[in-house]
Chain A
Amino acid sequence: GESVGLHLPTLSVQEGDNSIINCAYSNSASDYFIWYKQESGKGPQFIIDIRSNMDKRQGQRVTVLLNKTVKHLSLQIAATQPGDSAVYFCAESYGEGGSYIPTFGRGTSLIVHP
């Protein structure tokens, strides 16, 4: 039968466009969020983080937006480049017992066409 798990949500953009990758998180108690980029055969690489007392944070070419009301995160990448092609994951965590265990969703595959 079909292996649904292999079909990641995919965002396909042209080089130079802005990209927006969305993530719905599950735990309303989560108070720390991270975006990771993962290239094929490599471990996840930290991009940017945000804490629950903020609703926006900017980095170099990236912006993360947090909407706690609807438990939604987005990652905006400005002037997307072919090197940005990868799978992007958001991770949520919360501090019950001081644990802050990063919990990941399935990810979104970003494909940047030259």
Chain B
Amino acid sequence: DTGVSQDPRHKITKRGQNVTFRCDPISEHNRLYWYRQTLGQGPEFLTYFQNEAQLEKSRLLSDRFSAERPKGSFSTLEIQRTEQGDSAMYLCATKKTANTEAFFGQGTRLTVV
């Protein structure tokens, strides 16, 4: 257990529904990253925060994806109008400072049916 907590661990949703995932970082970690991982691939970067500021969001996959970190602690990733192609593992990672290792949570496995 790295100390990064993600909820839920698994989510099954119908196409067209909205879903929201939560990530709770290690408490002193001010950087928080969201990734998507599909089968047989490495994690694909989506967006990141330093404290409450979202510093990079151009790699979010479409305008259906959004993320927040309102108080600089936990973060949420929302996918609106889900599509079957959104089925994947969504991973959260946090860092204490910029150029140190990122610690990953166990991920949220999304299945869109």
A interface vs B, CB < 8 Å? 3, 5-8, 32, 34, 36, 41-46, 49, 51, 89, 91, 93, 95, 97-107
Contacts and interface: CB of A to CB of B under 8 A. Distances in A.
Interface residues of B, number: 29
A102 B45 contact: yes
Contact of A99 (B56, B106, B109): B56
Given A34-B102, A102-B102, A43 B40 contact: no
A43 B55 contact: no
Contacts of A103: 45
B42 interface: yes
A100 B95 CA distance: 10
B93 A102 contact: yes
20 contacts: A5-B40, A5-B41, A6-B40, A34-B101, A34-B102, A42-B106, A43-B6, A43-B91, A43-B107, A46-B103, A89-B42, A91-B42, A95-B99, A97-B55, A99-B55, A99-B98, A102-B45, A102-B102, A104-B35, A104-B42
